[in-house]
Structures are given as C-alpha cells and as structure tokens.
Amino acid sequence: MKLEPHIRLAHGNGGRYMRELIDGLFAARLGEQGLDTTVDAAMVDVPQGVRMMMTTDGFTVDPLEFPGGNIGSLAIHGTVNDLAVGGAFPLYLTLNAFIEEGTETALLERIVDALAAAATEAGVKVVAGDTKVLARGECGGVYLATTGLGVVPASHKLGQQYVQPGDKLIVTGGVGDHGTAVLLAREEYGLRGDLKSDSASVLPITEMLMKRPGLRFMRDPTRGGLATVALDLARESELSINMEENAIPLSEPVQAVCELLGYDPLYLACEGRVVAVIAADEADDAVQELRLSGVAPDAAVIGTIGEKKGAVTLTTSLGGQRLIDELEDDPLPRIC
C-alpha cells in the first residue's frame, strides 16, 4: 500500500485513511516490536516478583532531523534513559504522535524508521500508540510522546536520599552536544559543523554503574543540562555540590559555538549522558571502567558532594568560585 506524499487531516479521522496511515506507516515499522493495531490496549507480559517503574516524556525538537538522529530516535532514547537512570530495565513503550497536516510522508517514514531502530537497539517493544492529525498552523510539524514501563531489580537503592557528603559526581561524556547540534541544525546563525547529537540509549552505562554498591544516584542531563541536574540534586538532597570546570568534558566544537553565541554549555541538553553520584572510594574505578570498556570514553569525575545546604558551585579554570544559578529564561526552546 502506497501512502500519499503528504499527511492530510483525513489521516486522523478514525476511518480508512487513518487505518492506512497506522497500518502502512506505523505498524509496518513497529509490528516486530509487538504493536497490534487491532486493539486499543495491549497486553504486556511482566515477570513475577519485580517492582515496576513508569515514565513519560514529550518531544518537540526543531528541526525534526538533526545530525545524530531525529525526533523518532530521540523519543525512544529519552524515555529509555529516564527509566535507565532510575535503575530500571525498560520493557515496553507506548507512542503518541501529533502530526501537522501537510507533513511529508517520507519524513514521517524516516522518523518512524529511526524510532523502530532505536527501540530494537534498546531492547524495548512499542506495544501501543495513538496518532492525531492537526490542521496546518496548529502544530510545529511533529510532536511525539513516549511512555515507558520498566522493571527494577530488587536490589534497587538509588535516589537523592542516599547521597552523602564526600561522594563524587561523575558525568559520562561531553556536555551540551545535543543542544549544540540542534542549534547548528537550525542554521539560523550561518554556522555549520560536524558536531553530532549524543542522542543514544544510556543502558550500557547504567548497567555497568549499577553493579557498583557505592552507586547512589543517576540522572540524565537533558533540558537544562548538567547545571540543572546539579541544582535539582542539591535542592532535593539538601547538600552542596562543587564542580571543577577543568574536569567537565566538553568537546571543542561545543565550546567554540557556545563562546561565539554566548551560551553556557553547562545548561545545554545532552541526550546520551549520565550524571551519577558514587561513593568516593569507587568513583575513580567506575570512571576507569567506563572509559576503558569503551562504553563512555570521556567519562570523568567532575565534582564532590559537600555539606552546605543546597548550593552548587563551580571552581573555574582560573581557580575562582562561581555560584551556579537556576535557569531563568529559556535559552533554547524545542531542543528536545
């Protein structure tokens, strides 16, 4: 069945066109994932004796395609990663698509192709979905929402409540790559570069870290970046965090673009990194293992947890102390 070249309002009507869109575009790519389009709700098999975790995330990235991925792969990685850093193993995902009338069918096909490939790679099944078609001007192309269900090993003891003064903060790769790659893809500034988004499943990273008894906390620094994760953690744990600017991995292109345009990479989104807190006596080992195994070649210890309530500071490369503040305005809308 050959679909028309553009999505029409009738593709959202519940009737024949919608069935053609669902069967011809979505189910054709997600059937192996277990998507059954003949039911409104999908049965899922869950092993006995486990705890479960749910998460959801919306995606509005602009442009829809960027170096290193598109909104489809991003929607899988984002939700898989929220479960992964929660200490869960993702099993099932659901997918919502809000599609603007006039969207090219070929673009939508590339998005769902990337989504299916990312789901297969992360070992999750897309078991249920829904599409809505919006009139021209009522949507910015395509918005997606994915919801994930995962299982949590019985040994799960992760969270800000386990973080203690003296623990170390690590990050598993360069910060700001995703935000900068999307920024460049907009071509608003006449800048071009080879920079790719870091969008990826962090499951290999979290699986490696979770074998360590000293692991206290994990989070993925998406919207708001590393700085926002640190601020949230400091507030919720009622502890302080000091980070070393020199220790924070930052690629040259990200640094160059940020300096040119006045962005602070600490606030820019990553989509394939983990920020973790780990006991001081295990931190160097953990980072070595991540680096040498190739799972996260640029992982680094970047800071220390302190006792002062709620503050996040940065020791700059010149040796000064900078207080890290919460984001006020939005530096980059529609980054994820």
Ranges within 229-248 binding a second copy (CB under 8 A): 232, 236
In degrees rounded to 5, what are phi and psi of residue 220? -100, 130
Residues in Cβ contact with 15 at an 8 Å cutoff, skipping those fewer than 6 apart: none
Task: Please select the residue that binds a second copy; options are 1, 48, 154, 211, rule is CB under 8 A.
Answer: 48
Nearest Cα to Cα of residue 219 among 266, 166, 170? 170
Stretch that binds a second copy, among 52-60, 116-124, 257-265, 294-302 (CB under 8 A): 52-60
Grouping H, G, I as helix, E, B as strand and the rest as coil, residue 117 is helix
Distance CA 3, CA 144 (A): 21
Q: Do 178 and 124 meet the contact criterion of CB atoms below 8 Å apart?
A: no
| CB closer to a second copy out of 108 and 194 | 108
Q: Does 177 sit near a second copy (CB under 8 A)?
A: no
Q: Does 153 sit near a second copy (CB under 8 A)?
A: no
Dihedral sign (CA 321, 324, 329, 330) = positive
Q: Does 132 sit near a second copy (CB under 8 A)?
A: yes
Question: Does the N-terminal peptide bond of residue 153 adopt cis geometry, omega within 30 degrees of 0?
Answer: no
| CB closer to a second copy out of 58 and 204 | 58
Nearest-approach distance from CB 292 to a second copy, in angstroms: 29
Q: Does 16 sit near a second copy (CB under 8 A)?
A: yes
Stretch that binds a second copy, among 10-18, 112-120, 187-195, 279-287 (CB under 8 A): 10-18
Task: Please select the residue that binds a second copy; options are 25, 127, 184, 226, rule is CB under 8 A.
Answer: 127
| Footprint on residues 275-314 left by a second copy (CB under 8 A) | none
| CB closer to a second copy out of 97 and 184 | 97
Q: Does 157 sit near a second copy (CB under 8 A)?
A: no
Q: Do 101 and 136 meet the contact criterion of CB atoms below 8 Å apart?
A: yes
In degrees rounded to 5, what are phi and psi of residue 128? -155, 155
Rounding to the nearest 10 degrees, give the CA dihedral for residues 265, 266, 268, 269. 130
Stretch that binds a second copy, among 113-121, 123-131, 169-177, 298-306 (CB under 8 A): 123-131
What does the DSSP 8-state code read for residue 302? E
Q: Under rule CB under 8 A, how many of the chain's residues touch a second copy?
A: 82
Distance CA 138, CA 18 (A): 19
Task: Please select the residue that binds a second copy; options are 134, 170, 184, 324, rule is CB under 8 A.
Answer: 134
| CB closer to a second copy out of 101 and 167 | 101
Q: Does 143 sit near a second copy (CB under 8 A)?
A: yes
Rounding to the nearest 10 degrees, give the CA dihedral for residues 52, 269, 125, 105. 150
Task: Please select the residue that binds a second copy; options are 85, 230, 266, 299, rule is CB under 8 A.
Answer: 85
Task: Please select the residue that binds a second copy; options are 1, 41, 154, 318, rule is CB under 8 A.
Answer: 41
